[in-house]
Amino acid sequence: MLMFCPTCGNLLGVEEGPKCFRFSCRTCPYVFNINRKVSSKSFPKLKEVDDVLGGVAAWENVDSTEATCPKCDHSRAYFLQMQTRSADEPMTTFYKCCNHECSNLWRD
């Protein structure tokens, strides 16, 4: 927790005083004794993760091919190709198992 001086607005430091710890300003003579525990917690709001493969809609009109699912050994999978690296690199092929009970995703 950061505390600022109400007099000059500078950041307060913590020092040991004669009776207790205290906030003190390094610029002006402001001092505030700490008589109780001072704390606060705040958690950042996490961003929603975007589906990099375009979500469910990206898999609606794709073709299937012979590919063995590493999870359930089903012999067919839908495939989708995307450019994930620089343009001079080959495209990455993503697969989705045709077995609707599995629907495992993997890439080649």
pLDDT digits (tens, 9 = 90+) for 66-106: 999 999 999 999 998 888 888 898 988 999 999 989 989 89
Judge whether 85 lies within some domain: yes
Does residue 101 lie in a domain region?
yes
Provide the domain count of the chain.
2
CA torsion angle 27 32 33 39 (round to 10): -100
Mean pLDDT of the 6-31 span: 92
Its domain, for residue 63, covers: 56-107
Q: Is residue 48 part of a domain?
A: no
Q: Are residues 60 and 94 in the same domain?
A: yes
Give the CATH number for residue 67: 2.20.25.10
Tell whether pTM > 0.95.
no
Rounded CA-CA distance 10/30 in Å is 10
